[in-house]
Amino acid sequence: FPSHDTLILIDDLAANPVCADIIINPSPGVAAKQYQNEIAGIYLLGIEYAILRAPFLALAQQEQLIKEPGSVLICMGGADPANFTQRVLTSCLTAPFTRIHVVIGGAYSHPNPENQFTDPRIKFHGHLSAEDMAALMRNCEFGIYPASGILLEGLAAQQQIITGTTAENQREVYRGHLSLGTVIGAGHFREDEMKSALQKLSSFDNSTNLIDGLSIQRIWKVISRLEKAQDLVLRRADTKDLHHTYEWATDQNVRRFALTQHHISFAEHQYWFEQKIKSNSCYYYILEENREPIGSIRFDLIDSFAQISYLLGRVS
């Protein structure tokens, strides 16, 4: 993992000023320009960077999951203080589901819904592990969830999903998923909104596998690069750089992309190099990896503009 002075922010709001080296936001539609970042950070944005538990990543990597036809899973969060569970379940009783699975979170403080709903299609679940939840999602054809992390898990399980908001901080996530056209919106899960969403469900077909289960590899690749970058130093060029800059300048691959491609003598390069490091209109930098020069970048000021020239002499 990167050293202690590298900060990684996992976010779904893009609403407040931040200071982070890497920002991970799996919400669809979010853009880097929405962030007020105090440093030039790296942005890993969009559903391809969804951070999921291992069982759901494994589900996402399967090409096609066989579902129990007509089965639906309802899960409205661990606490569900406004009791959206009861509201959604009541609406689902009017739909032709063959099986209705309801997950009740450990912090659910309302009266036990098992005492209120006696429809034989309903099966209640509680205290599920990640493996248990993934297995349940794997078998259910449909899912009804808030626009939160569980929505990503449902997409990884290749479900047809109705989603909405149960809290204000879900609003942008909800809009982003609607923009993909891969979920059915139910607003705030009111009775009329649920009725409309359930009517659309029978003709809705999302066969696109949005989550491929490779998000952790993508994220880790970026983190590894950032960790390696901590061995890199950019410093001003000076006289000790004369010889290795000449080697770079005369390299055949470098010459192919140079503005002038004629052979450069050492004397010619020495005169040019000394002029550059003395000039007030040239900012010339050497890139070092573990104190070994590996490349350069140069900014030549022309009026109010800068011409940029760069090269890598070696890539490890």
Would you place residue 145 in the very low, low, confident or very high pLDDT band (cuts 50, 70, 90)?
very high
Least confident segment among 131-135, 265-269, 311-315:
311-315
More confident residue, 94 or 39: 94
Query: Is the predicted pLDDT of residue 147 greater than 70, yes or no?
Result: yes
The span from the CA of 124 to the CA of 100, in Å, is: 8
Write the burial class of residue 72 (CB in 10 Å: 0-12 exposed, 13-18 middle, 19+ buried): buried
Closest CA to 44 of 187, 165, 221, 302: 221
The span from the CA of 283 to the CA of 237, in Å, is: 9
Query: Is the predicted pLDDT of residue 206 greater than 80, yes or no?
Result: no
Neighbours of 211 (CB within 10 A): 24
pLDDT, position 166: 96
Residue 269, C-beta contacts closer than 8 angstroms, at least 6 positions apart: 242, 245, 246, 249, 250
The span from the CA of 273 to the CA of 244, in Å, is: 11
Query: Is the predicted pLDDT of residue 1 greater than 70, yes or no?
Result: no
Query: Is the predicted pLDDT of residue 109 greater than 70, yes or no?
Result: yes
Least confident segment among 69-83, 101-115, 152-166, 244-258:
244-258
pLDDT, position 285: 97
The model carries a pTM of 0.75
Would you place residue 3 in the very low, low, confident or very high pLDDT band (cuts 50, 70, 90)?
very low
Mean of pLDDT over the chain: 91
pLDDT, position 200: 94
The mean pLDDT value for 235-253 works out to: 92
The mean pLDDT value for 61-90 works out to: 94
Each residue's pLDDT tens digit, 289-316: 888 999 999 999 999 899 999 998 865 4
Q: Which residues are paired to 160 by β-bridges?
A: 142
pLDDT, position 316: 47
Tokens found for residue 47: 């559903």
pLDDT, position 227: 77
Query: Is the predicted pLDDT of residue 138 greater than 60, yes or no?
Result: yes
Neighbours of 167 (CB within 10 A): 12
Q: Provide the percentage of residues in the chain whose pLDDT is more than 70.
A: 97
pLDDT, position 123: 97
Each residue's pLDDT tens digit, 86-99: 999 999 999 999 99
pLDDT, position 314: 61
pLDDT, position 260: 75
Query: Is the predicted pLDDT of residue 52 greater than 90, yes or no?
Result: yes
Each residue's pLDDT tens digit, 160-177: 999 999 999 899 899 999
Query: Is the predicted pLDDT of residue 100 greater than 70, yes or no?
Result: yes
